[in-house]
């Protein structure tokens, strides 16, 4: 029988003399102590109660909480909160946010690896069919995305996930951290497949001001809340956290990522770079879930904590995001591609920004913005007109299991 009592973690474990050989009989003193302890334990064992058999009566863990001095109280749903909750972070159920668990289940339906998608045609397209202007667009989209997904991974892992106090929220966010790493692998696979200069591509976010501006803005908005000692018991900090999470979910992922894939989908629409575009279709499904989860969490946080977001602070978020996106699109599309221009890129940004604001229950930041790319939602979706016997199983099962936004 084990010498450890797993019903009482505060009781020191019994110590066995190190000089005693394995299997040796205890000394008389030790035997006396053991006998006395056994006698005391037997005397202390409670009598069987009606409804409990003898084994259950001797096991304190099976008794009612009031009969177990020092035991923790059961977790109540009311103890759970988005942040500053009093529940047990290690106990998944009972759920207070069943929608968060549904996000986790749905995320697992969209699983792939970049190695499953052929890049052979993209290699030919990049070297023989793209114009210099189109190669400029393609390379800089990859350069921006590679850095952005690493930033997203760190923000979720360091700033958001660790501050959530309901495990059903954390479990989805753990999946989200994995997905951001998977996206980074995907961009790296595209870069390697095309034989691009990795050092040059990855360093563009540092040396190209228009790309760096978006990353710098994101870092400024998220830096303080990433700190482990950022106290969410402080109401001003709580307001800042809500604004930062709003920025991350609705703007960084909901607008910048969503809009960031559009130039590649414009190439795909003309039959170019279809392998890369298919990779981005799977990534975009993840990002739509990330955005929807973040918006749901922000709205719940605001309601739970009875926060009133400063309208001027929210307006500033949209203004800064638009200015950074305008600079980026001006550099990215300094020469328009066939069927896609900087003006269309910005028009789509404003249209999507209004959609995110409505989902948050906020006023539209760009009233009257129109959908200038009506083909985008359909183009971005995974289409299934391929021959069944030439198509990967995941295209029919995992990717096809998700509803589009």
pLDDT of residue 391: 44
pLDDT of residue 188: 92
pLDDT of residue 131: 95
Q: Is the pLDDT of residue 82 over 70?
A: yes
At residue 93 the predicted structure's pLDDT band, cuts being 50, 70 and 90, is confident
Closest CA to 272 of 376, 131, 386, 145: 131
Q: Is the pLDDT of residue 62 over 70?
A: no
Is the link from the previous residue into 396 a cis peptide, with omega within 30 of 0? no
Question: For 340, which DSSP code?
Answer: B
311-370 pLDDT, tens per residue?
Answer: 999 999 999 999 999 999 999 999 999 989 999 999 999 999 999 999 999 999 999 999
Q: Which two tokens stand for residue 24?
A: 């040796």
Burial (0-12, 13-18, 19+ Cβ within 10 Å), 364: middle
Q: Are 350 and 366 in contact (CB under 8 A)?
A: yes
When the candidates are 1.10.10.10, 3.80.30.20, 3.40.50.300, 1.10.620.20, the CATH number that belongs to 91-401 is 1.10.620.20
- CB count within 10 Å of CB 262 equals 22
At residue 262 the predicted structure's pLDDT band, cuts being 50, 70 and 90, is very high
Q: Is the pLDDT of residue 122 over 80?
A: yes
The residue extents of the domains of the chain are 1-71, 91-401
Q: Are 369 and 255 in contact (CB under 8 A)?
A: no
Q: How far apart are CA 316 and CA 312, in angstroms?
A: 6
Q: What phi and psi values does residue 386 have, to the nearest 5 degrees?
A: -80, 160
Return the SS3 of 346: helix
Q: Return the minimum-mean-pLDDT range out of 66-80, 274-288, 375-389.
A: 375-389
- CB count within 10 Å of CB 97 equals 21
Q: Is the pLDDT of residue 18 over 70?
A: no
């Amino acid at each position: 029988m084990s010498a450890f009592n797993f019903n009482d973690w505060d009781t020191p474990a019994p110590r066995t003399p190190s000089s005693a050989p394995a299997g040796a009989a205890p000394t008389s003193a030790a035997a006396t102590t053991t006998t006395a302890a056994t006698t005391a334990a037997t005397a202390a064992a409670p009598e069987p109660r009606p409804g409990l058999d003898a084994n259950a009566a001797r096991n304190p863990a099976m008794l009612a909480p009031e009969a177990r001095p020092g035991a923790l109280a059961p977790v109540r749903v009311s103890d759970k909160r988005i942040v500053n909750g009093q529940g047990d972070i290690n106990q998944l159920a009972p759920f207070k946010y069943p929608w968060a668990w549904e996000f986790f289940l749905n995320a697992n339906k969209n699983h792939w690896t970049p190695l499953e998608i052929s890049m052979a045609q993209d290699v030919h397209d990049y070297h023989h069919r793209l114009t210099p202007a189109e190669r400029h667009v393609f390379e800089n989209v990859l350069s921006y995305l590679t850095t952005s997904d690493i930033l997203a991974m760190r923000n979720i892992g360091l700033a958001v996930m660790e501050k959530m106090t309901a495990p059903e929220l954390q479990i989805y966010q753990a999946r989200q951290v994995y997905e951001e790493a998977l996206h980074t692998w995907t961009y790296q696979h595209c870069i390697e497949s095309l034989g691009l200069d990795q050092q040059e591509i990855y360093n563009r976010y540092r040396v190209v001001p228009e790309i760096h501006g978006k990353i710098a803005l994101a870092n400024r908005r998220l830096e303080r809340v990433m700190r482990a000692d950022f106290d969410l018991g402080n109401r001003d900090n709580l307001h800042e956290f809500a604004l930062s999470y709003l920025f991350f979910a609705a703007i960084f992922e909901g607008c910048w990522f969503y809009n960031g894939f559009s130039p590649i989908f414009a190439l795909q629409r003309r039959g170019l770079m279809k392998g890369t575009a298919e990779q981005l279709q799977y990534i975009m499904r993840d990002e739509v879930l990330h955005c929807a989860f973040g918006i749901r969490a922000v709205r719940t946080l605001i309601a739970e904590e009875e926060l009133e977001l400063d309208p001027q602070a929210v307006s500033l978020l949209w203004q800064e995001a638009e200015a950074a996106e305008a600079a980026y699109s001006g550099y990215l599309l300094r020469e328009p591609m066939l069927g896609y221009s900087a003006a269309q890129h910005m028009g789509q940004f404003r249209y999507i920004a209004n959609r995110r604001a409505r989902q948050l229950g906020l006023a539209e930041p760009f009233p009257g913005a129109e959908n200038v790319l009506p083909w985008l939602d359909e183009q971005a979706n995974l289409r299934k007109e391929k021959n069944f016997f030439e198509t990967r199983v995941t295209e029919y099962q995992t990717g096809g299991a998700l509803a589009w936004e």
